[in-house]
Amino acid sequence: MTGCCRIVLLFAVLIGAPVSAHDDWQATEYSRDAAHAPTPLPDRVVLTWEDDPATTQSVTWRTDASTKKGLAHIAVANANGRALQPEVFQAETEYFKSDINEANYHSVTFRNLMPDTLYAYRVGDGVNWTEYYHFKTASDQAKPFSFIYFGDAQNEVRTHWSRVFREAFRDAPRAAFTLHAGDLVDNNDWDSEWGDWHQGPDWVNGTIPVIATPGNHEYRRIGQGSRSDRYWATSDGKVIEVKMTAFETESNESGTTYKLSFLGPDGTSTNLEMNDGGNIVVVDDGMESITGFKQEQLLGSSFYAAPLYDRQREPGVPAVTTHWRPQFAFPIQDVPDETLKETVYFIDYQGVRFISLDSNKAPELQVPWFRKVLEDNPNKWTIVTFHHPVFSPGSDRDNPEIRRLWKPIIDEFKVDLVLSGHDHTYARTGQVDTTSLVNVPSGYQQAYDPEIGTVYVVSVSGPKMYRITKGNYAKKVAENTQLYQIIQVDDNKLEYKAYAATGALYDSFTLEKRSGRPNLLIEAPVEKQDE
């Protein structure tokens, strides 16, 4: 055999031989607990404000429990990093034990900063440091700026919410801050879920500050007892108590399926399955025995909506998750209840007062504080955020107490914009024909009142979706659509744009300030786009 033939034969053998070295290899899932475990290297770096955004900046971060102290370096940013001459700040360090690990959280508030100035900073322990981050202080004057607003992230945060956040950042990389309207995570006390939430924005949270109001999923119930106690509606209009006895999840490329088992008041058992949108896809005969609803009446309906309307029994005292205060540094102000600190607060930013209310507890106690903060407001614009919407578009959900207590104050002071979440749909108020409204609760008929001018928005940024059952009160609605919103304020004009997860423009309007009159709402036409 000639050399040429031998080479050809060898080549043929090589290309024809199957790759066998790793044929029997199987992937092993890496533990989320291990993935989110703290180390001596700082992580979960988050910028917030607990004081004036023009002259201060707060930063928090996490390390493992072996790191006993934290330090921060800060200097006016320059064009040559090696020439930085940073000032050293000593951090406050707080031990924190989560459900899976022990850690220390560190926090620093930089003070006496110059307004409208770019700073470079890093955090660490003197040996182990982060990279240098940049942030820019607010101006002490009313100047144009933009921010990004997110409704509920909540579920599959790492998988499906992270891309929404990053698409929003691509659109608004110079945003002044991000605003989160509650339900950042699903399980308030699961450290791995908070790890996913931090992983989505990653380094951006260390560069663009965060404003957040807590949702019901940032709350736990003290003295609640078992979380398995639930309430269901029955076909004859009664409310019965059931107990969840099993809960399993199955995930694949098409999504997540939740398998649940329950016991009725008489001991009858039933099993059902729902998808990650909360819709029932499988239910057995035991359901009819317990509730009177037949299978065909429930299949395709929301587990949390009519007719079944599952909700958790909540006899305990609500308390914000223990993760909230260590990882965020929001203003500590003269609120009516000690437990509302850092969930009820306001921040003034370049001519706009941002007010966070806590719709999870003590709404009546917040009324005098809310009124005072609006009475003493020197800013041209006012934006209020809280989790549970005044006008709920879906799933037979309504919050009449919030509407009764807070809307008269919103009306009186002509708040410009109210941003909420909770309902896993999109609805934005505007001028509609109120004479033809049907199937809406009392108080919805003038969700937008041109004599007041307040625009209410409910939005969702995560993949969990509900149905809209009474959205005809709203100017623009959406189901099964992950969204983010970019809002720009410039003197007498506020421009609002809502985008789908793909970056396609979905909704747009402008508010114009008018002396002695309510805002002028200008609807912007949006071209139909493939999403």
Our separate counts of H helices and E strands in the chain read 9, 30
Does domain 32-136 fall under CATH 2.30.30.90? My reply is no
Helix (H, G, I), strand (E, B) or coil at 310: coil
Rg of the chain over Cα atoms, rounded to whole angstroms, equals 26
Please report the beta strands in 91-185, taking only residues with DSSP state E, as ranges in sequence order. Answer: 92-97, 102-110, 118-124, 133-136, 145-150, 178-180
Asked if residue 384 lies in contact with residue 419, where contact means CB atoms within 8 angstroms, the answer is yes
Is the pLDDT at 496 greater than 90? The verdict is yes
When pLDDT is cut at 50, 70 and 90, the band that residue 311 belongs to is confident
Max distance between CA atoms of the chain, in angstroms, equals: 100
Q: What confidence score (pLDDT) does residue 23 get?
A: 84
Residues of the chain with pLDDT > 70: what percent? Answer: 93
Tell me whether strands 219-222 and 317-320 are parallel, antiparallel or unpaired.
Answer: antiparallel
Using left for φ > 0, alpha for ψ between -120 and 50, and beta otherwise, residue 3 falls in: alpha
d(CA 158, CA 384): 28
Weakest mean pLDDT among 67-76, 154-163, 519-528: 519-528
pLDDT surpasses 50 at 531 = no
* Token pair 């092993």: residue: 28
Q: Which of the four pLDDT bands, split at 50, 70 and 90, describes residue 526?
A: confident
Instruction: Indicate whether 102 pLDDT > 80.
Output: yes
Q: How far apart, in Å, do the first and last CA atoms of the chain sit? A: 62
* 224 vs 37 pLDDT, higher one: 37
What residues are paired with 520 via a beta bridge? 512
Average predicted confidence (pLDDT) for the chain? 92
Task: Give the per-residue pLDDT at 253.
Answer: 74
Residues 6+ apart with CB under 8 A from 186: 154, 155, 193, 217
- Give the residue extent of every domain in the chain: 32-136, 145-220+316-523, 229-312
Task: List Cα–Cα distances, 473 to 307, 403, 433, 501, in angstroms.
Answer: 22, 15, 8, 25
Q: What is the DSSP string of 97-109?
A: E-SS-EEEEEEEE
The SS3 assignment for 216 reads: helix
**H or E segment and range at residue 260:** strand 255-263
What does the pLDDT look like over 68-89, one tens digit per residue?
999 999 999 999 999 999 999 9
Per-residue pLDDT tens over the stretch 373-427: 999 999 999 999 999 999 999 867 899 999 999 999 999 999 999 999 999 999 9
CATH architecture of 145-220+316-523: 4-Layer Sandwich (3.60)
**Cα 140 to Cα 114: distance, rounded to the nearest angstrom:** 9
Q: Which two structure tokens, joined as six digits, stand for 274?
A: 């729902």
Q: Do 402 and 392 meet the contact criterion of CB atoms below 8 Å apart?
A: no
pLDDT confidence of residue 438:
86
pLDDT exceeds cutoff 60 at 182: yes
Q: What is the structure's pLDDT at 442? A: 87
Distance between CA atoms of 167 and 393, rounded to whole angstroms?
26
- For position 528, what pLDDT does the model report? 67
State pTM to two decimals. 0.84
The tokens of 62 are what?
Answer: 């996490």
Q: How confident is the model at residue 439 (pLDDT cuts 50, 70, 90)?
A: confident
For the chain, give percent helix, strand, coil, nearest 5. 20, 35, 45
pLDDT band at 248 (very low <50, low <70, confident <90, very high): confident
pLDDT for position 313 = 66
Distance CA 181, CA 356 (A): 9
φ/ψ (deg, to 5) at 5: -65, -40
Task: For 371-413, give the DSSP string.
Answer: HHHHHT--SSEEEEE-SS-SS--BTT---HHHHHHHHHHHHHT
